[in-house]
Amino acid sequence: MLYLIFGGLTTVLNIITYYLFVSVGVDYKIATTVAWFVSVLFAFFTNKSYVFKSSRSIYREIGPFFGARILSYLMDLGMMVLLIDVAQQDDMLAKIVTNVLVVVFNYVASKMVIFNDGHQS
């Protein structure tokens, strides 16, 4: 349940950050990158502290967390290019659709790999 709450907040933060950048004329690919970075920082600290309550060192988790998120960033950016440039969809609609798939990927990566202390809950 906490993952849904913080995942929702992370998604909202991502979309708002994206919107703010594109609304002042920043290219959607750059806006996607900035929004990704801001939301990943927020997601790391909320997932570590509140969702998975991990006691492992920040240094042991931040690398794998960002590594998994780099994969989701590539998925995010690739889908944005496909939806906007190829399918000619509205960029905000593309951002929302893309974020739904990214949230699912990020949950699986976080639960199964990054914050897994060796026991299932």
Q: What's the maximum distance between 2 C-alpha atoms anywhere in the chain?
A: 47
List C-alpha distances in Å: 25 to 19, 33, 49: 10, 15, 35
Q: What is the pLDDT of residue 94?
A: 96
**Predicted confidence (pLDDT) per residue in 50-59, tens digit:** 877 778 888 8
**Residue 105 class from Cβ within 10 Å (0-12 exposed, 13-18 middle, 19+ buried)?**
middle
Give the contacts of 91 (CB within 8 A, at least 6 positions apart).
22, 28, 80, 84
Phi, psi of 57 (to 5 degrees): -60, 140
Q: Give the mean pLDDT of 80-97.
A: 96
- List the structure tokens of 47: 């997932």
Contact 115, 47 (CB under 8 A): yes
Per-residue pLDDT band for 115 (boundaries 50, 70, 90) equals low
Q: Is 6 left (phi over 0), alpha (psi -120 to 50) or beta?
A: alpha
What pTM, to 2 d.p., does this model score?
Answer: 0.81
Residue 119 has pLDDT above 70, yes or no: no
